Structure 1
């Protein structure tokens, strides 16, 4: 008698279609619940706990994506796993990426902080066309202050992606008074340039659009008085990445 292999399931907060912010083109984005970081500027604090999601099978998520597949193909997009942190649920994330790629023929992207990069199997990464990698600070003390975690696991994961030749879009959130010192930006830029696989850098201006979620959770948003960066500050950060030969937007 053959025992059926159980299908993967996981905690999913939500899914949606997006254009231009979760990878190239129009994309089906599954937001998995749970994250080991506690970022001060998180705009989705409601995804931090696994219990913030709904237990969902991979079959259900893939079926939902399949309904948009023809449109996504026509729009030159794909499917992205975001969160939360998808690598908190590596088996579930791996099955979704595999099926998005091989059953639906979609370009796949993984949006991750890299902190749990050691959980990403070689098979999972083989099914990932693009990694959207957040490097939140080069200054180690500031990184811990921003996230509650260490930077080194993210850097180790970035080096592994480079060794595999995996395309990376680096993401850097510009927070006035925190991440914007020139030496901090330059540190991230020099590291990224040395990898050889970073095809794009997204300098993301800090915003407070998620503050209402913090309030709803009864949590203090400690950056409530921090201003958004000016256009000139964003341009200066982009120029710092460009000075290292990187395409920054």
Structure 2
């Protein structure tokens, strides 16, 4: 059976952050994603995960999100900052069960040389790959659509695959997010099949509102069938904003044991 985990930045937001873990477990989830858990000590989060029988699936490298940063991995002049952020993420991750670490590339200012940005990105990710690999961790790269992040370093799956192949490290994988892929390029199923050998994580969000399955144009039962046919047996992150209270919008998950209190 497919396994799903909610991103607690988006879901169960009717509750304070630390209460969202228990709410996710009661709704039938066995894992969670938390973009920036760093405001809480790793030991506290590890205890909370253990208390509720949860796996922490993915975190992001730290950045100043509130100030508009969307990562810094592709920004010339920020190499030292990026390395410190990766070191912090790895140190935290090994204490909370070894989640995947997503290294966001960043928004590229107008006029900046994108070829230089790519060189910086590849160098930074090679460093991050070595550091995460030494701890048995997976590093995730994710192109993001221009509808969401118009200035982001890369937007299409092939751009992500090109970077992954250039780096050539087995622990550097692609995050395939249905919202970003469908909004940017469409052809969801064939794009998934083409990228599949490099896919390390899948996230779901419907189009155009980035809400739960059943609220937009993507027919998720078909998509999930294709994933299973490809042999997918890892997590699927719920990277969407519920269209109502989270617990009122989980009907789509009934076949997968989601939405039933326990």
* Higher share in strand: 1
Q: TM-score, normalised by structure 1?
A: 0.49
Q: TM-score, normalised by structure 2?
A: 0.47
Answer 1 or 2: higher relative contact order, Cα 8 Å, separation at least 6: 2
